[in-house]
Every structure is written in C-alpha cells, then in structure tokens.
Amino acid sequence: MTSITPPKPMSGFPELLPAQQLVFNRCLDIVRRTFERFGFAPIETPAVERKEVLTAKGGNEKEIYALSRLAAGPGEDAETDYALHFDLTVPLARYVAQHKDKLVFPFRRYQIQKVWRGERPQAGRYRELYQCDIDVIGRGSVSLLADAELPSVIYHVFREMNIGHFVIRVNNRRLLQGFLDLAGVPTDRVGDVLHTVDAWEKIGRAAVAQALINKVGLNETLTERILAFLSSSQGKPTDAVLDDLRRQVTTSQAEQHDFGRGVQELQTVVEGMRSLGVPEDYFEIDLSIARGLDYYTGTVYETRLTAYPDLGSICSGGRYDDLASFFTNEKLPGVGISIGLSRLVLRLLDVGVLQPGPATPAVVLVTTMDQAHMQDYFKLGAALREGNVATEIFLERARLGDQLKYASRKGFRFAVIAGEDEFAADQVKLKDLATATEQVIPRAQLVAHVLSLLNS
Amino acid sequence: MTSITPPKPMSGFPELLPAQQLVFNRCLDIVRRTFERFGFAPIETPAVERKEVLTAKGGNEKEIYALSRLAAGPGEDAETDYALHFDLTVPLARYVAQHKDKLVFPFRRYQIQKVWRGERPQAGRYRELYQCDIDVIGRGSVSLLADAELPSVIYHVFREMNIGHFVIRVNNRRLLQGFLDLAGVPTDRVGDVLHTVDAWEKIGRAAVAQALINKVGLNETLTERILAFLSSSQGKPTDAVLDDLRRQVTTSQAEQHDFGRGVQELQTVVEGMRSLGVPEDYFEIDLSIARGLDYYTGTVYETRLTAYPDLGSICSGGRYDDLASFFTNEKLPGVGISIGLSRLVLRLLDVGVLQPGPATPAVVLVTTMDQAHMQDYFKLGAALREGNVATEIFLERARLGDQLKYASRKGFRFAVIAGEDEFAADQVKLKDLATATEQVIPRAQLVAHVLSLLNS
C-alpha cells in the first residue's frame, strides 16, 4: 500500500458540494440572464494581466498573486510577466483600450469571472471569489440615464434571486466634493476626507470624527458640519433629501458649482431609476456613501441586504470620467456596478436564506430492476431527455430498494419503475419521491405526464 | 497628459470580441445543458491546488504556474503553497477524496473550468483553456455501461453544437496490454510500447516502428506483429473488428487473460453505445488508440472532427481503476471524458465552421427619437423584457439615423421606432434590420408580435 496524503482544505478558496453548487449556479444564471435581458454583452478576459498593469492601477502588491513556473529549462526564466487579476475593472480598461476600434460604443459589457486576492483568510474574506460586473462605456460621453439603468438591472437580479429586502443606496461624489469645497475643506484634503468618511459604516460616526480631526487635520466645527451634512439623509424620503439639497444649492448660489451640478446629477439619476421601475422602497439617497476609490467622479452606489447589514455592500460601483487613462489618451467615461456573488451566496447558504436542494440537476431516475429490459430503460431515458427532462438511468446492478434509496439521497423528484409486468402491459410506474406516491401510466404518455407535473 | 502604455496582447491567453464570445458561450451552454440533461451534477474546484498535489500526479513542473504574492510584509513569506491546476482530473481526485463521505456514489459530476499550462505559446496551444469534463466514480466498482454512456453524452453535445461530422474512437487498454503480453512483450516494456504507440497519429507508422525497435528494444518481427494488430481495425466495420478479436481470443484461448477480458469489455461498451443511441457512423473501434497515460486501465476514447483531423482529439478520456490513490486508500474506480473546448471552438471560429453573429445578446433596440417620450420608451423596453425579449433602450441622445446605424453595427434583429405620431395613435414601428422592412403595430401588441417573429 502506497503512502497517502489526505487532502487538506484550502483556506480562503471556497468549494461547494453539488447541492450547494447547484444553488450557486442558479444564482449565476439569474445574474447572467438578467444582464443579457438588458442588452449587456459578455466578455471574458484571461485570469491574468501583466504585472505592471495590475500594480499601476493601485493594486495592493501584497494581495496580488504573481505566476511563475515551478521549474524552468536551462537558460529559461521561471518567472512570468503575469499575475492574477484582483478585480474585473482593470482587465476591462485594458480590454477596451486594446480592442476599442473593434467595439461599438456605448459599449455595454458584462463580465462574470473569478478574481483572486492574496488576503489573510478570515470569516467572509476569500482569496478566490466571483464578481459579476456590468459597465456602460462611452467614447467621449455616456448619458446619466446609464447611471439610472444599472440599479434597475441590479434590482431585477436580486428580486429574482429571492434573497429578501435590499436597498440600493445612491450618492454622488461630485456633490460631496462640491459640498466639502463650499464648506472650506482645502482642495488637497478633499480626497482624504472622502477616504475617511468611507469607513463610517465600519468604524462609526465618532471614530470618523476623530480621524477627520486628528488625521486629516480639520477643526471641530468643520468636522461637525461635514458629519451633519453626511448624515442628513438618514431616514428621510428621497424627495425630502432632494428638496433639502436643492434648497442648499439655491442658498449658496452653487448652481454652476460642483455642488449644484452634483445635486442636479443625483436628481436626474433618481428620476431615471423611478422611470426605469426601481420601486421607492428598494433605493434611497445616502449622502454618507463616498466609495474610497478616487476613480469615481459622479454617481456612486452601494447595496445592503436589510436583514444582513453586517454583510456590508453586496453590490457597489459608480461613474468614472476616464476608464483607461493608463492605456490610451482617448477619454472613455463610463459607469459600472459589481455584485460580489461569492460572499453573498455563501453567506446566504450559511444562514439558510438560500437552501440547498437536490444533489443532482436531474429530476427523474429511471430505475433498472430487470437486466433483461435494459434496452427499454435506455429508451425511456432517451425519450425523457428528448422531452428536455433531465434524467439519469441507473446503470449499476442493485436491488430496487437500494436504487430508490439512491434516488432519495440525491434528491430526484421522480423515479420511473418498470419490470416484466409493466412492460408487458405497456405501462410504467412513476413514483413521486417526496410524497412516496406511485402512479401507473401508459408508457407512451410518460414524458408528457412528467412535463405536466413539472409545470404544475 | 500622463504617459500611457498601450496594451499588449498576452500570447497564449485567448480573448474574444463580444460576437465571438457569444458563440463561445453558446457552446459552453450546450455542453452544460447536455451534461445536466444526463444527470451529471456540477462541481467547481478552486483554480489552485497545493503544489505537492499537482506534482505528485505526474504534472510537468515546467508547465505548472505557481502563485506567489508580489510583495510581503515584514516576516511574511511571499511564496504560497498553491499552483494553478493544469487539468480537472487531479482536482476531481482531491475533491472526491476530501468530500467522499458527503457524496452519493456513483458520483456523476461535470466540471467546466479553465486550466492553465505554462507552455511555449504556438498555434493552437494555449496557456489558458477551458476543459469540460464528465466522470462517473464508484465506491468499489462502476458498471461498464457508464463507459458506454459517456460517448452518448458527447455525441449529443457535438451534434447540438453543429460542428460537422465526428467520430468517437474507442479502444481498451486491457485488451492492448493483454495482446502485448501474449505477443511476448516483457511486462516492464508494455508501458513503453503504449507510450510509443500513442504518438502514431503525430509521427506516423514508420517512426513508431523505429522507436519500438531502437528505443523500446523490440525486434523487427514483434514490432511488425504489433503494428499489424494495431492497424487491423482501420477501415473495418465495428462488428468485423469485434469478430476478428473474438476469433483471436478463441485461437489463443485467452478468455480469462487480459486480452480476452479486454475484448469482452470492448464488446460490452460498443453494444451499450448502440443501445444508448450513438449512431454507427459516429463511432468506431480503433485498436491504435493507446492514450499515453498509465492511469487508464480499460476503455479509452478519442474523438476527431472528420473535416479537421489536424485538430487532433477534441474529446478524450477513459476508464481508471483508482481515481484518488494519492489521497485515500479507498478504491474509487471510474470513467471520464473531457472536451477541450477552447481549442475546438477557437479553431472552428477561425475556419468559419462557427460564425460570429451579433455583438449583443439583445434582439431589440428601442430607439429614442423624442426626448419628451423617454417614459414611453422605458415602458416599451420594460414590457419586452417582461416578455423575456432581451432588449436595449438607446439612452444617449442621437439622431434616429445614428441610432439605427448603431443597431445594425451591433446586430440587433429589430428596432422599435416611435415618435409623436405613433404614440398619439397608440402604435409603434417595428423595423426588421436584416430586411430593412417596417411594420406598424398597435403598441399593446408589440411584445406578442416580436415573440411570434422570434419563434417563427
């Protein structure tokens, strides 16, 4: 007997059993189908990019996995130029810059792929995870209606996924920057303030205030004024927030200022979201959402599951002025949003909001109690598959009882049972494994019968 | 203006434009749907395994990409334990050994994932490629009918993919080993002979003969006898090959010998394939197929596209006695087959057997010629999507002519056009972009009308 090495789980690299995998795949399908229904085209980029591409866009080098070959021939280098992508935005920028003359703009793409991050594994943090991104990219400009459309896509995704109530929170970075400017924050501190504010949900209001005073160097009055503004949208209806904002714009005569323009943008996006069918109780304006990335220049989004606020944002994004400035001088503005699917689905499986079902995608098991009739079982299976009913034929030799036990353990909905007597009478038995009831059906009607049960 | 770095293509890492990506995804869908229709359950393993797992199973270290972080904190190691998987069989073995007490056997799984190989890029060789695997794994044993079922699944996949005529070639390694033993090849050379024979298609009969004589050390007579046997199935009907083989079994009284058992297995598998609906002209016995891997112990498969033999095998696999001997002492026999989807689809796109269609998954573009009616356009789009018609609403401001140009370039099938007059009359125009014909339709009938056109 050779020595064996029992497999060890790989921390931070999630892996599912078939029943959970089927749930995960169903969620992936919903995302994909919805993205396509809104006219987003799929692209897929390699798992790797050149190292300099990933580091230039501000990637954290400690979290980037580089590739080297385990061995190299004489005179060869085991090192490679490549590292695994840590998000789908950097690859998108490279893709659009590289292929822009073959793409039609506005370019509406979706991308559902794994990304890798060399994080220390901890609860809810993964080293390998799925992201599902949509972006609309223009050559020169993109309508603000695109900013409104993305939340409507997301709304449909999460509704169909049936994961409970959620709120898409919207804000506008231009508005925030404008407000900070009017309030007297020096231009070179605006970025720092927004970075600090971005941690609000994690560290709380008091800690943000501390950081603004001690780290960013604002005085207490200014800090209080900022925090009061950022929290002024809390618990208020959207229109009341917009009314407030417009009043402040008028008062400060800031119509042409970033503050006024940001408020106007936010209002346009909110109106667009309503027109595009996002119900009032599934979105809100949240002035405290800053998104840490300097990259964003207008609309920003975050999304929370109402019952699981500690999950953090399950879907975030925003508008950017220039997607691919590292690669091209051509201005490519756009807006994008990304679902962190692995964290979401794995957590919801964990807490039972999503429930694993069968361990097989097949709904029917054709049992094979009589070896002399294998040809008949094959024909029954083929007919069911022909009718688009996912079907397994039991191919091993086993007693019928064991076959039915197998069917129950895998979670088939129906078992087809037939022996000498049934075949002689041109019939089959159809057993509903959940209710343990049997029906005798003319053989020729099996497929239609199963289909009608599945559709009812 | 900041300095820019125009993106360079990454050699060996294929990347598609949206129209091609949609074709590729359609093929992936066919594979996935067919696998599920036959009752194979999806699993997905991480992109990485521990290095020792990958090297132990005979992976070529020069072709394995290991992961290290680009930077590490003080006292940390940038190296990791992980490397990218180069196939889906090693991960499957690890998965089954790790989770076996939670799986139901026979375990029927499919796995469609990218694999990575640190090859020198050359025509048709990729560093990143999709594999689509199905395996049936037993605890202790698996019926030979599983060996027959896999080709029937593959038959349905390729037929639906509409890629022209193909032949699934079947052989049996036990039969070959038995034959070589009876012919007098020393036991310790049998593996070498099979490795050498595996190169037949690449290097030709003369070179194989040379290698058997010069490298393996067989004499000329034995070499000729082996080559004659291996090529004896060429151009012969399956039943004639089986008749020949059975006659040789009887002549050599090898019924209980590996040769006889292998012939019996091959016959059972061929009969099963017929019963399971693989048509006679889509499979054949090819005694020259050896599959280089020692891993295989019985049935082996290769598949060729008749019109593109130089593509090599597009789908290969076989039966193994023991999947996971590295990880567990429990015997886990099985049978599996794998489609090399990237090489296949990219080549068929290249030669035009698969043709790129539209660059969007949406079939309808709702044009927006009158900004005063945006609400109406949104409603039209929402109704179409509600009816499961993938629809884009044109959100930018542009002249109708430019919008229609955009629709043509992206390949929408229909454009919906409506302005003041149409809305006043509760109508819309539906333009078929391929034929450039327009129909005026009552607004309320738009969705039903489009659906009927799509289904006709």
What's the pLDDT tens digit per position in B236-293?
A: 999 999 999 999 999 999 999 999 999 999 999 999 999 999 999 999 999 999 887 7
Q: What is the mean pLDDT of chain A?
A: 95
| Same domain for A377 and A315 | no
| Same domain for B346 and B368 | no
Instruction: pLDDT band for B119, please (50, 70, 90 cuts).
Output: confident
B344: three-class secondary structure by DSSP = helix
Query: Tokens 């037939």, residue?
Result: A418
Domain ranges, residue A411: 364-455
Q: Give the closest of B73, B104, B395 to A62, CB-based.
A: B73
Instruction: pLDDT band for A272, please (50, 70, 90 cuts).
Output: very high
Q: At A111, which helix (H) or strand (E)?
A: strand A107-116
| Same domain for A298 and A160 | yes
| Same domain for A281 and A175 | yes
Is a pLDDT exceeding 70 seen at residue A313? yes
| Same domain for A377 and A338 | no
| Same domain for B23 and B158 | yes
Domain membership flag for residue A357: no
Instruction: pLDDT band for A57, please (50, 70, 90 cuts).
Output: low
Domain membership flag for residue B270: yes
* ipTM score: 0.96
Q: What average pLDDT does this structure show over B57-70?
A: 88
Residue B308: which of B355, B356, B357, B345 has the closest Cα?
B345
Domain membership flag for residue A219: no
Tokens of B143: 């019926």
| Same domain for B393 and B339 | no
Q: At B441, which helix (H) or strand (E)?
A: strand B437-442
Integer Cα distance of A94 and B205 in angstroms: 48
In chain A, which residue's Cα lies nearest the Cα of B274? A375
* A382–chain B Cβ distance below 8 A for any pair: yes
Q: What average pLDDT does this structure show over B67-71?
A: 94
Amino acid, single-letter form, for residue B321:
D
Domain membership flag for residue A194: no
Residue A273 vs residues A241, A246, A447, B391, B436: alpha-carbon distances, Å: 16, 19, 45, 17, 33
Q: Give the closest of A49, A94, A359 to B41, CB-based.
A: A359
| Same domain for A293 and A159 | yes
Contact status, residue A318 vs residue A296, Cβ threshold 8 Å: yes
Q: What average pLDDT does this structure show over A89-110?
A: 97
Mutate to test the interface with B, among A395, A408, A451 (most CBs of B within 10 A): A395
| Same domain for B217 and B140 | yes
Domain boundary among B326, B351, B376: B351
CATH number for A385 = 3.40.50.800
Residues of chain B with C-beta less than 8 angstroms from the C-beta of A51: 70
Is a pLDDT exceeding 70 seen at residue A178? yes
A25: three-class secondary structure by DSSP = helix
Residue A85 vs residues A92, A128, A296: alpha-carbon distances, Å: 11, 11, 20
Q: Give the closest of B108, B109, B395 to A392, CB-based.
A: B108
Domain membership flag for residue B126: yes
A122-171, pLDDT tens digit by residue?
Answer: 767 899 999 999 999 999 999 999 999 999 999 999 999 999 999 999 99
* A398–chain B Cβ distance below 8 A for any pair: no
A16-56, pLDDT tens digit by residue?
Answer: 999 999 999 999 999 999 999 999 999 999 999 999 999 98
Q: What average pLDDT does this structure show over B323-340?
A: 94
Domain boundary among A291, A319, A351: A351
Q: Taking a contact as any Cβ pair under 8 Å apart, which residues of chain A between 4 and 43 contact chain B? A: 4-10, 13-18, 21-22, 24-25, 36-43
Domain total in chain A: 2
Instruction: pLDDT band for B57, please (50, 70, 90 cuts).
Output: low
CATH number for B330 = 3.30.930.10
Domain boundary among A322, A351, A380: A351
Domain membership flag for residue B36: yes
* B98–chain A Cβ distance below 8 A for any pair: yes
Contact status, residue B276 vs residue B155, Cβ threshold 8 Å: no
Contact status, residue A134 vs residue A153, Cβ threshold 8 Å: yes
B45: three-class secondary structure by DSSP = coil
* B425–chain A Cβ distance below 8 A for any pair: no
- What pTM was estimated for this model as a whole? 0.96
| Same domain for A392 and A302 | no
Domain membership flag for residue B10: no
B408-423, pLDDT tens digit by residue?
Answer: 999 999 999 999 999 9
B255 in the Ramachandran plot: left (φ > 0), alpha (ψ -120 to 50) or beta? alpha
> Any bridge partners for residue A109, and if so which?
A41, A135
Tokens of A254: 């800031």
* B327–chain A Cβ distance below 8 A for any pair: yes
| Same domain for A108 and A254 | yes
| Same domain for B223 and B94 | yes
Domain membership flag for residue A37: yes
Nearest C-alpha of chain A: how many angstroms from B179? 28
Instruction: pLDDT band for A74, please (50, 70, 90 cuts).
Output: confident
Buried b (16+ CB within 10 A) or exposed e, A242-280: bebbeebbeeeebeebbbbbbbbbbbbbbebbbbbbbee
Q: What are phi and psi of A439, to 5 degrees?
A: -130, 145
